[in-house]
Chains A and B, each alone.
Chain A
Amino acid sequence: SQQGEEDPQALSIQEGENATMNCSYKTSINNLQWYRQNSGRGLVHLILIRSNEREKHSGRLRVTLDTSKKSSSLLITASRAADTASYFCAPSRGGGADGLTFGKGTHLIIQP
Chain B
Amino acid sequence: DAGVIQSPRHEVTEMGQEVTLRCKPISGHDYLFWYRQTMMRGLELLIYFNNNVPIDDSGMPEDRFSAKMPNASFSTLKIQPSEPRDSAVYFCASMAYGGAGTGELFFGEGSRLTVL
Contact = CB atoms under 8 A, between A and B. Distances in A.
B26 interface: no
B interface: dominant SS = strand
Given A30-B100, A42-B107, A45-B106, A97 B31 contact: yes
Nearest to A44: B107
Contacts of A101: 43, 45
A70 B39 CA distance: 26
Given A42-B108, A42-B109, A101-B45, A95 B102 contact: yes
A88 B104 contact: no
Nearest to B47: A99
A75 interface: no
Nearest to A95: B103
B101 to A, nearest CB: 4
Contacts of B42: 102-105
Given A42-B93, A43-B107, A104-B42, A92 B48 contact: no
Kindly state the interface size class of chain A when it binds its partner: 20 to 34
Contacts, number: 71
A8 interface: no
B25 interface: no
B91 A95 contact: no
B94 to A, nearest CB: 9
A45 B109 contact: no
A99 B106 contact: no
B34 to A, nearest CB: 10
A104 B42 CA distance: 5
Interface in A7-56: 30-31, 33, 35, 40-45, 48, 50
Given A45-B105, A100-B45, 9 more contacts: A30-B100, A31-B101, A35-B105, A42-B91, A48-B102, A97-B103, A99-B33, A102-B42, A105-B42
Interface of B: 4, 31, 33, 35, 42-43, 45, 48, 50, 55-56, 91, 93, 95, 97-98, 100-110
Q: Which 6 A-B pairs have the closest CB atoms?
A: A42-B107, A95-B103, A45-B104, A96-B103, A96-B95, A102-B43
25 contacts: A31-B102, A33-B104, A35-B105, A41-B109, A41-B110, A42-B93, A42-B107, A43-B43, A43-B93, A44-B107, A50-B100, A94-B101, A95-B95, A95-B97, A96-B95, A96-B104, A99-B45, A99-B48, A100-B45, A100-B105, A101-B43, A102-B35, A102-B43, A103-B42, A105-B43
